[in-house]
Amino acid sequence: MTQPAATTPSPRTSGKSGAASGSPDEQADDAADRTTTRTATGPDDLSPAEVAALIRAVDVDRAAATLSGVARRTRVVAHPGLGRRTGAPVWLKCEDEQHTRSFKLRGAYNRVAQADPARRARGLVAASAGNHAQGVAYAAAQFGVDSTIFVPTGANSVKVARTRRWGARVEHVDGGVDAALAAAEAFAAQGDRLMVHPFDDAAVIAGQGTVGLELIEQVPGLRTVVVGVGGGGLAAGIAAALAGHAHGAQVRVVGVQAENASAFADSFHAGRRLCAPADTIADGMAVRTPGRLTLALAASLLDDVVTVDEDAFWEAMVLLRATGGHLVEPAGAAGVAALLRHPGLAQGPTAVVLSGGNIDLATAERVAALTAAATVPATRLA
């Protein structure tokens, strides 16, 4: 499944030109076909009034004020090779250069900063494949409180080591990100500690959305944003930021997910939350169930969610290393992978978010070898 599928019209996408076409029934059928062995999580859709209230609750301007002097305003750089391939100017938003080498710091810090001080003092708890873990541990260090992070067994050792470096206690849990999240929620409830959800929280989403505010100011004439999706916090936050900005309402936002971990994409097109296996090199987006809040926001604000094959991640990482020295993790290269597979996604000046750079040693070594051998087709864009 490497062809982009269209979404049903939303308040944000009605009247816009999308990347693909198809009737709502056909799109829902396609999503159902892809999820034959997957199970829905239940009838938990938000009503239109609840979605409207959620959009208001995602206060990106407040988050920007909270993060001033904390999060870096990361640079954007033009990528001429991708521009030639797509026929549109392409800019890279370098969140791999953020503190903790990931955008996740933004949402985690914003949530912690807005929490009740007494509850925050009892300690922070989170579940993560690694990048959110570092964001929470960083925030805990800034506020001088304890943090306990639950990570899936086999989590990226580089991310785990960097999380511990910020002073967090790390607990490994069998069963993937969803099992780690359940363990974290139970532990937080036991001691009335502050649970910092990796994506399904309005303050977290708002913090991630500050990336969108920066893009409006940094990319001249911005018309498209392409961003990786795991739980959906970054994509939903950026879309919310753009929808609430005078110069952002007409900007298209396209999410990208691994086809081997396609729960969010499948749910987006089916119109309900679905579970899906998650077996991908892009560990940062290996989420088996989308967030309730993030999916509701995506249904209202995103223009599309597409998927890419595993080879596309490798090609994107090699291209970024060869054409600018960007050493990003697989999930961080998702937007570039999407443009390699679906160049038509870039409509007008396009921003691609390089969401993370916490790459493990084995992956980094393979990227270096592929770059040196110049055997990956994407290197021709150099």
Do 329 and 75 touch, CB atoms closer than 8 A?
A: no
Nearest to 254 by CA among 170, 352, 331: 352
Do 278 and 261 touch, CB atoms closer than 8 A?
A: yes
Residue written as tokens 């088996």? 288
For residues 274 and 291, give the distance between their C-alpha atoms in angstroms, rounded to a whole number: 10
For residues 106 and 169, give the distance between their C-alpha atoms in angstroms, rounded to a whole number: 21
Strands 147-152 and 124-127, by their bridges, are parallel
Residue 331: DSSP 8-state: G
For residues 305 and 236, give the distance between their C-alpha atoms in angstroms, rounded to a whole number: 11
Residue positions annotated with a catalytic role: 104, 355
Residue written as tokens 């996740």? 104
* Own/partner long-range contacts of 371-379 (Cβ < 8 Å, ≥24 apart): 371/318, 371/321, 371/322, 374/322, 376/314, 376/315, 376/318, 376/319, 377/315, 378/315, 378/316, 378/318, 378/319, 378/322, 378/340, 379/318, 379/319, 379/322
What is the length of the chain?
382
